[in-house]
Amino acid sequence: MADDGDYYAILGVSKDASEEDIKKAYRKLALKYHPDRNQGDKAAEEKFKRISEAYAVLIDPEKRKTYDSRGRAGVRDMGFEGFGNVEDIYTNFGDIFGDFFGGRYHTRETAAVPGADLRAGVTVSFTEAALGSKNELRFQKTSACPACGGTGAKPGTSPRTCPTCSGSGTVVRRNAQMGGFFSVSSVCPQCRGEGTIVTDPCQTCGGRGSVLRPVTITLNIPPGTSNGDVLRLRGQGEAGAHGGQPGDLYVTVHVRPHEHFERSGNDIIYEARVDFITAMLGGEIEVPTLKGKATLKLPAGTQSGQTLRLRSQGIKPLTGKQGDLLVTILITVPKTLTKRQEELLKEFGENR
């Protein structure tokens, strides 16, 4: 195109060109630079916008007269700013030039709509969260109606083609301002873009095509799951529309406190009560673990509040290092003593 500024030069027509000459010129250039034929070509897209802007002005007698006398400034004063992007052309004037493409050239299909995400919660024991487990999760989500198969129509019947749009989901009208050259496409107001209408609705779903149904799935709790962790289950949310992907299910894990254990990262803390004789002389005690019991050796002179470590007896997550079992010693003192025990303790105290 010889000139990016003058509308006549952009279309390659003379200033005395007829309406038919302008249509023919635009038809030729639109075919050449249309985005559907030049996908990914930004230069062609810009040229398509410029020739569309030029056509919009020159095909309209009032705009053309103003442009001839005052140029682009005059057209802008009329409220016409051109097209910011190709979608502006599609939205305002329709894209497809039924006059010379023999129908709509740029077909807009109903956009796929992703399904909604869902949220649920599950409560597990301390051990289940630490070691990992499988749990049944029950929740409700919208699914295709089992009676009508998702059509919304009464069983034995089918939705019928929308009489307004003839099943296309859109209605098209000529744009008089554009000389009848462009066709304006919009969502059909009767079927709302579906292309079909239900005249005899399904009684189970009321014509919606979907119902709220209980769902049961097996939920895998990974080892090392913490209280409040959120697990994401892809594709377990609401179904999408028009081929859209289903949503996801987000499950918040609630962990019940343990009777004896506390958690610190991947370590487990346990308080063991030990009599003062064993603590003074040393010995062995039995302590619980996540998977059973273990023997812990106490050195002589173990102090109350001292923490001893059993390595690799803590939580082992899917990734990362396994924690330990940290045993805090709490020394217990007998409430009553025999006379002989008292004498021995007094003797011990005197000889310290």
Q: Are 110 and 169 in contact (CB under 8 A)?
A: yes
160-161 and 196-197 beta bridge pairing? antiparallel
Q: What is the pLDDT of residue 35?
A: 74
Closest to 141 measured CA to CA, from 234, 212, 205: 212
pLDDT string in tens for the chain (352-residue length) = 334 578 999 999 999 999 889 888 988 888 888 877 787 788 888 888 888 888 888 988 888 999 999 888 888 887 777 777 766 665 555 444 444 444 444 444 455 678 889 999 999 999 999 999 999 999 888 877 888 887 888 898 888 888 887 777 777 665 544 444 445 567 788 787 777 888 889 998 888 888 888 899 999 999 999 999 999 999 898 877 656 788 899 999 999 999 999 999 999 999 999 999 999 999 999 999 999 999 999 999 999 999 999 999 999 998 889 999 999 999 998 888 888 888 888 887 787 6
Residue 308, CA distances (Å) to 192, 327, 335 in order: 70, 5, 26
- Topology of domain 7-96, per CATH? Helix Hairpins (1.10.287)
Q: Does the domain formed by 262-350 have CATH 2.60.260.20?
A: yes
Is there a common fold for 7-96 and 112-150+206-257? Answer: no
Q: What is the pLDDT of residue 82?
A: 78
Q: Are 67 and 10 in contact (CB under 8 A)?
A: no
- Domain segments of the chain as ranges: 7-96, 112-150+206-257, 262-350
- Topology of domain 112-150+206-257, per CATH? HSP40/DNAj peptide-binding domain (2.60.260)
Closest to 215 measured CA to CA, from 123, 120, 113, 115: 120
Q: What is the pLDDT of residue 8?
A: 92
Round to whole Å and give the CA distance between 123 and 92: 54
Q: What is the pLDDT of residue 211?
A: 86
DSSP code per residue over 106-175: S--PPPPBPPPPEEEEEEE-HHHHHH-EEEEEEEEEEEE-TTTTTS-BPTT---EE-TTTTTSSEEEEE-
Q: What is the pLDDT of residue 133?
A: 95
Residue keyed to tokens 């979608």:
87
Closest to 121 measured CA to CA, from 139, 144, 108: 139
